[in-house]
Copies of this chain bind each other. A is one copy, B any other.
């Protein structure tokens, strides 16, 4: 362990990992480039550590020192103690969870590596909303998906908000980026997967498609509002819809994902 050190200067270079956290554009560029991500709140930090991510440093307000004592003991990373006002000055927001950790990214697996052992895969296209992405990861992990594959334009699952909304589930289910889109979907098919595209205009009802009986199933979901693109739909083996009642035209993407993950796994 490192002895916690109090910092009082917002320009202290030891706080560099935590500057401007509310500037999404900046952080989106910086974090992957610098190989870090931010875990926020006690639970998420513990889960990141438990998932084997190396801690670069921790930033705590004083009252969190006791709560995090065991984590501090177990890590060689420096622990920066700052007053709430300084935390806000550095990060740009009121850090009401009082505990942030800068964690080191691990190299992502490749899609073929994940496909070699998976039976249930979620493929997400154009999910740029961190809240939706985090929620979908939480459901994917909880409901037994083996892996998540992301189109090139999906947001970063390790962005702070996505991590937080996922409750750390982004650490629990492995994921990979698909670089060529939608060509990489062919790779998924060659790995023995049937590609089911979820779309309100699908020809088959989800229950009728009996997805739980498919030996290797890849379920494709698009972003809230727009859904899957035409080229993604064209690359699928089947287009399925979740039956709708009361004249409602769609579910939100988080709900559609949860239903689909359930149906393709323990669903029946």
Which residues of A does B touch, CB under 8 Å?
Answer: 135, 138-139, 141-145, 167, 169, 172-173, 205-207, 242-248, 250-252, 254-259, 262-263, 265-268
| Nearest neighbor of A47 in chain B, beta-carbon distance | B247
Decide if B142 touches A266 in the complex (CB within 8 Å): no
> What are 16 A-to-B residue pairs whose CB atoms are below 8 Å?
A135-B254, A135-B255, A141-B246, A142-B244, A142-B250, A142-B251, A143-B242, A143-B244, A167-B248, A169-B246, A206-B266, A207-B267, A242-B262, A252-B254, A254-B254, A258-B259
Q: How far does the Cβ of A118 sit from chain B's closest Cβ, in whole Å?
A: 13
Decide if B251 touches A139 in the complex (CB within 8 Å): yes
Chain B residues with CB under 8 Å of A242's CB are 142-143, 262
A interface secondary structure, majority = loop
A244 to B244, CA, bound (A): 26
Q: Given the known A-B contacts A207-B268, A267-B268, are A141 and B262 also in contact in the complex, defined by CB atoms under 8 Å? A: no
Chain B residues with CB under 8 Å of A206's CB are 266
A172 to B266, CA, bound (A): 30
Decide if B207 touches A266 in the complex (CB within 8 Å): yes
Q: Given the known A-B contacts A246-B169, A266-B243, are A252 and B135 also in contact in the complex, defined by CB atoms under 8 Å? A: yes
A205 to B268, CA, bound (A): 10
Q: How far does the Cβ of A244 sit from chain B's closest Cβ, in whole Å?
A: 5
Among B169, B173, B251, contact of A143 (Cβ-Cβ < 8 Å): B251
Decide if A142 touches B268 in the complex (CB within 8 Å): no
Q: Given the known A-B contacts A263-B262, A267-B263, are A248 and B205 also in contact in the complex, defined by CB atoms under 8 Å? A: no
Chain B residues with CB under 8 Å of A267's CB are 207, 263, 267-268
A172 to B250, CA, bound (A): 13
Among B247, B248, B255, contact of A255 (Cβ-Cβ < 8 Å): B255
A265 to B251, CA, bound (A): 15
